[in-house]
Amino acid sequence: MKKIKIFFQGLHLIKIMMLASFFVLALTQCEIQPDFTYEYNNPGGKLDIDAWQFIQETDDLSLMEDAITLAGLSDLYSGSDQKTFIVPRNSAWESYLSTNSYASIADIPVAILQNTLKYHIVKARVIFSDPDLLLKNNPIAYDTENDQVMYLSHNSNFIGIINEGTSKSWTIVTSNLEPTNGVIHVTKDVVYLLE
C-alpha cells in the first residue's frame, strides 16, 4: 500500500511539473521575424576617401592633422600612391609632447616633425589579411618615407605589431582601414625604430 501511495505522489509531482512547463510555454510566445535586408556597416574597412581626408574627418586624429599641416606633408597623405599610414591618435601625440617637453605640436622643430611623420609612412601597402603576413610573430621589414626600416607583423590574435623583435615594439589599436591610397593602422603611440 505504501508503494502505491509513493507511486501516486510521484505521478502527482510529474503532473504538476508538466502543468508548470505548459504554463511557462503558454506565457512565452514565439514571433516570426519579418524578412529584412541586413545592411553591412562597411565590412572590411574600405573607405571612399584618401588617408588625408580620413585624418581630417576623424576627431581623435586632430593632432595628427596639425602635425601633417605644420610639417607641410599633406601631399604624402593625399596622393594616389599605395602606402601604409601609421597614424597616432591624439593621446599618442599628447604623450609624445609631454615626454619631449613640448607645449604643443607647433613647438616641435619642423625637421623633427617631418622625420617623425615620414617614419610613419611605409612605402608599400601592408594589410594584415595579406597571405604574406599569415605567419604570426614574423616581422617583415618595410622601407619608410624617411628611408628607415619599419618591421610589421601580428600576433596570434591578428593584432598588428610595429617593430616586433627590436628593443621597442608597439601595438596597433585599429588596423586594416583601406583608404583609396593604401592602408591605415591607428596606434596609441608615436613610434620610432630602436634596434
Domain positions in the chain = 45-187
**Do 80 and 105 meet the contact criterion of CB atoms below 8 Å apart?**
no
Number of Cβ within a 10 Å radius of residue 43: 6
Cell representation of residue 25: 510555454
**Above pLDDT 90, what percent of the chain?**
59
Average pLDDT over residues 53-73: 97
Q: How confident is the model at residue 44 (pLDDT cuts 50, 70, 90)?
A: low
pLDDT of 27 reads 61
Out of 2-6, 26-30, 86-90, 138-142, give the one with best mean pLDDT. Answer: 86-90
Q: State the Cα–Cα distance between residues 67 and 76, nearest whole angstrom.
A: 13
Sign of CA dihedral 146, 148, 154, 155: negative
Is 38 buried (19+), middle (13-18) or exposed (0-12) by CB count in 10 A? exposed
Which residues partner with 86 through β-bridges? 185
Q: Which CATH architecture has domain 45-187?
A: Roll (2.30)
Q: State the Cα–Cα distance between residues 98 and 92, nearest whole angstrom.
A: 10
Q: How confident is the model at residue 144 (pLDDT cuts 50, 70, 90)?
A: very high
Q: Lowest mean pLDDT of 36-40, 86-90, 183-187, name the range.
A: 36-40
pLDDT of 87 reads 97
Q: How confident is the model at residue 40 (pLDDT cuts 50, 70, 90)?
A: very low
Number of helices and strands in the chain (H, E)? 6, 7
Global pTM?
A: 0.76
Q: State the Cα–Cα distance between residues 141 and 10, nearest whole angstrom.
A: 74
pLDDT of 102 reads 96
For 96-114, what is each residue's pLDDT tens digit? 999 999 999 999 999 999 9
**Do 87 and 185 meet the contact criterion of CB atoms below 8 Å apart?**
yes
Residues making up the chain, counted from first to last = 195
**Above pLDDT 70, what percent of the chain?**
81
Q: State the Cα–Cα distance between residues 101 and 142, nearest whole angstrom.
A: 30
Number of Cβ within a 10 Å radius of residue 112: 12
Give how far Cα 91 sits from Cα of 3, 52, 56, 80, 147, Å: 76, 19, 16, 29, 26
Q: Which residues lie below 8 Å from residue 82, measured CB to CB, with a gap of 6+?
A: 124, 125, 181, 182
pLDDT of 84 reads 97
pLDDT of 134 reads 78
Average pLDDT over residues 144-173: 91
